[in-house]
Amino acid sequence: MKEVEKPVGIFDSGLGGLTVFRELRSMLPGENLIYFGDTARVPYGTKSAEAVIAFSKEITSFLLARKIKLLVVACNTASSLALEEVRGISPVPVLGVIEPGAAAALAAAPRGGRVLVTGTTATVNSRAYSRALAGSGVKVAERACPLFVPLVEEGWCSKPVALQVAREYLAPFRGRADALILGCTHYPLLKKVIARVMGPRTRIVDSARTAAQAARDELAARGLLNPGRRGRSEFVVSDAPERFSALAHRLLGIRTGRVEIKRF
């Protein structure tokens, strides 16, 4: 297999990283993509750092065995806690979602403005976004929203409970943020609800889109873009493939076809 024809690997704790997959598929239709969702162990946001690092390294080894040319850690929790450990075992480039999201927030907020980071408890406690935004002149606030991931995984993004939960977390920040970072790749599925709570003044930064753009730029810089027109898509999960496939179609319009199971 030619180097450019090798797949791009993407992994997340569940189906949230499919938001990155969808953006990559749209931007780079010729790329072969392999997605791993750790559906047996979702959510990562309530797990210890040691557990997230162990899970991330297991999945990375699995994807490396599939001869990937680039790895996208499409999970903010794993990006904030395990990125360096993953890079330490990977012979191919590894991209996370923190730095691209932080850069997009800086572009959206004026100097001296306010940026609100939303994420899992683990991501917020890691202060990864605060470190990425340090010295930029913006004021950073962070809000853990741990119920957002299970809402998405249940397929309840458009139910009244989603708006109720979003208001509970975010109402105190309405009108007080120039930009809000969706610091979890599940959260773009709640973007409309979050934007409604925050109001029109706040720019919503989609970490899935910025991560996909970073991956495209990395492939281009390394001369690894696949010039093909229609790349193949593969999906692997650690549990419940039928449920994963059904939610991927219902929430994101992604038809997965057969989903492989890999248990650790």
Q: Is 223 left (phi over 0), alpha (psi -120 to 50) or beta?
A: left
Q: Rounded to whole angstroms, how far apart are CA atoms 18 and 253?
A: 10
Q: Which of 63, 102, 184, 237 is catalytic?
A: 184
Q: Rounded to whole angstroms, how far apart are CA atoms 250 and 254?
A: 8
Q: Rounded to whole angstroms, how far apart are CA atoms 156 and 197?
A: 17
Phi, psi of 25 (to 5 degrees): -65, -35
CB 69 within 8 A of CB 92: yes
75 annotated active-site:
yes
CB 59 within 8 A of CB 1: no
145 annotated active-site:
no
Q: Which 3 state secondary structure label does DSSP give 37? A: strand
- Residue among 238, 219, 187 at smallest CA distance from 33: 219
Q: Which of 18, 75, 149, 208 is catalytic?
A: 75
Catalytic residues: 75, 184
